[in-house]
Amino acid sequence: MNAVVKKISDSILFLASAQHVWKQLEHRFCQVDGTKVFQAQRDLYSISQGNMSILDYFTYIKKLWDDYNSLIIIPYCACGMECASYNAVNKLIQEQELMQFLVGLNKAYKVVQGNILMMRPLPDVDEAYNIFLQEEN
């Protein structure tokens, strides 16, 4: 109850369980419309490094991913364990983030981009970021 403002805590005070509280808050505040999702995707698809450093570019694109992921429902496995479907969805998201990161980089990093794309398995986006950060330095 201390994590929400008083007006909200008053409206959830008498719910039977924490699960009911979270369901109520989710229902109340997780209303997403198509325009928000559209804007988030447009921002992600049009991002480019421009005159930003690798650090600034990665920070900016990471914020866009976080914004987008807060708007969509990412499937999870109800069994509570990491199963093949859960792992496949996460791998797809990680590869998509890596590709978006690479696509927006300046042409000066073309050789390093090619080297990363030839790696098997592909590195995650954090590893790629570190490679580009070292290259920039």
- pTM of structure: 0.72
pLDDT for residue 33? 74
pLDDT for residue 24? 79
Instruction: With beta carbons less than 8 A apart as the criterion, state whether 43 and 31 touch.
Output: no
End-to-end Cα distance, the chain: 47
pLDDT for residue 80? 65
Taking the C-alpha atoms of residue 51 and residue 9, their distance in angstroms, rounded to an integer, is 45
Nearest to residue 105, comparing CAs of 57, 45, 60?
A: 57
Cis peptide before 123 (omega within 30 of 0): no
Instruction: With beta carbons less than 8 A apart as the criterion, state whether 61 and 100 touch.
Output: yes
Nearest to residue 67, comparing CAs of 28, 29, 32, 113?
A: 32
pLDDT for residue 129? 97
pLDDT for residue 115? 96
The per-residue pLDDT string of the chain (137 residues; one tens digit each, 9 = 90 and over) reads: 566 667 777 777 767 787 888 787 777 776 667 888 899 999 999 999 999 999 999 999 999 999 998 888 776 667 766 678 778 888 898 999 999 999 999 999 999 999 999 999 999 999 999 999 999 98
Each domain of the chain, given as residue ranges in start order, spans: 1-31, 34-136
Non-local CB neighbours of 74 within 8 Å, separated by 6+ positions: 89, 93
